[in-house]
Amino acid sequence: MDKRTRVLNALNKQPIDHVPCGFWFHFSGKEAKGEDCVRAHLKYYRETDLDFLKVMCDNYFNYPIELEMKKASDWYQLKPLGKDHPFIREQVERVRAIVDEIGDERCVFYNVFAPFSSIRFAYSDDFVMECLREDPAAIMYALDVIAEDNAAIAELVITEGGADGVYFCVQGGEYDRFTEEEYHKWISPSELKVLEHANKFSDNNIMHCCGWAGAKNNLALWKDYPVKCINWAVHVEEVSLEEGRILFGNRATLGGMKTLWDGKHREGIIYDGTKEELQDYVREMILFHGKCGMLIGGDCTIDGTLDWERIRWIVEAARSI
């Protein structure tokens, strides 16, 4: 079975020969931009032999806002960038360049952030939350504007870039940030706008419930979101693959490996286990979970300085059973 068939079958809970694997990290410096970024992704793909590639949106975290926002009502001035804006076109071109090289070999997914993440990358979390408490409608308006552009990114990386789907990252579900009612009223509409639009162009979209740097979320906030596969931080959330499979309605699951990395501190057998320990962990995880609808990945991004040989150990173990 080739990699592409293996991944698509896993996403759709069809028979597979081996459980597919995928890990990723943020590229930095020159490798976060332009042709260097494309080359870096291709080098990583070819040297790790992973089953699918998640293309990172490095250098495009900060949604470009030219207006100066000083108070909540200023957000009403925000307008969509439009599909021809360089912020969007350059991301499509990144995906197209990578897909042109490896698209027939395996699936490619592009990282798209939820609007609530995009707005907080552009301005501080504290300022956005202050505005949200002062005038929820103003931030909901801004999130809807950003959702229009993020939806355009999702559409175009699939239709023009050739991606098989998007890897949609949701954040902000910490228990002490919102009540469930607040989240579904203020934040969910913009997230669903992007996802529902992406679903018009691909049936194979993945959602990442981000527990980056140990942030624990109320996963129930996202349990009914319309995606084919869900990735969450198994070890941060303390919700196993089996528990998550139940929570998310028996859909395909991606994850299982502890990859905690906050820029300074890292934890997980992927970093410090011996080859034997790491491979035994992978095999046991597969045997316990079962192959159907399973893809092996991390809680979140890995430390980019990790020796890629350790990734190959995981791939080797997954293909041994």
pLDDT digits (tens, 9 = 90+) for 158-174: 999 999 999 999 999 99
Residue-level pLDDT at 71: 96
pLDDT exceeds 80 at position 212 = no
Of the pLDDT bands very low, low, confident and very high (cuts 50, 70, 90), residue 215 is confident
Residue positions counted in the chain? 321
Q: How much is the average pLDDT of 73-78?
A: 97
Residue 102 and residue 50 in contact, taking contact as beta carbons nearer than 8 Å: no
Q: How many CB atoms lie within 10 A of CB 2?
A: 11
Q: How much is the average pLDDT of 17-35?
A: 97
pLDDT exceeds 80 at position 7 = yes
C-alpha span between 297 and 21 (Å, rounded): 6
Q: How much is the average pLDDT of 211-222?
A: 89
- Residue whose pair of structure tokens reads 């804006």 in the numeric block: 85
Residue 92 and residue 150 in contact, taking contact as beta carbons nearer than 8 Å: no
Q: How much is the average pLDDT of 254-283?
A: 95
Question: And the tokens for 199?
Answer: 């679903």
pLDDT exceeds 90 at position 266 = yes
Residue 103 and residue 130 in contact, taking contact as beta carbons nearer than 8 Å: no
Residue 190 makes CB contacts below 8 A (sequence gap 6+) with 114, 115, 116, 140, 143, 144, 146, 147
pLDDT exceeds 90 at position 17 = yes
Question: And the tokens for 171?
Answer: 């954040």
Residue 112 and residue 60 in contact, taking contact as beta carbons nearer than 8 Å: no
Give the tens place of pLDDT for each residue, 118-129. 999 999 999 999
pLDDT exceeds 80 at position 213 = no
Structural element, H or E, at residue 294: strand 294-298
| Mean of all residue pLDDT scores within the chain | 96
Q: How much is the average pLDDT of 238-267?
A: 94
Residue-level pLDDT at 263: 80
CATH number for the segment(s) 3-318: 3.20.20.210
Q: How much is the average pLDDT of 225-229?
A: 98
Of the pLDDT bands very low, low, confident and very high (cuts 50, 70, 90), residue 79 is very high
pTM of the model: 0.97
Residue-level pLDDT at 252: 98
Tell me the backbone φ, ψ of residue 257, rounded to 5 degrees: -100, 135
Residue-level pLDDT at 261: 87
Of the pLDDT bands very low, low, confident and very high (cuts 50, 70, 90), residue 104 is confident
Residue 21 and residue 312 in contact, taking contact as beta carbons nearer than 8 Å: no
Output DSSP code: residue 232: E
Q: How many CB atoms lie within 10 A of CB 74?
A: 15
C-alpha span between 74 and 139 (Å, rounded): 10
Residue-level pLDDT at 105: 86
Tell me the backbone φ, ψ of residue 295, rounded to 5 degrees: -130, 135
Q: How much is the average pLDDT of 84-92?
A: 98
Residue 187 and residue 140 in contact, taking contact as beta carbons nearer than 8 Å: no
Residue-level pLDDT at 194: 98
C-alpha span between 136 and 130 (Å, rounded): 10
Residue-level pLDDT at 64: 96
* Cβ-count burial 78-108 (b if 16+ within 10 Å, e if not): beebeeeeeebeebbbbbbbbbeebbeebbb
Residue 23 and residue 52 in contact, taking contact as beta carbons nearer than 8 Å: no
Q: How many CB atoms lie within 10 A of CB 224?
A: 11
C-alpha span between 166 and 113 (Å, rounded): 10
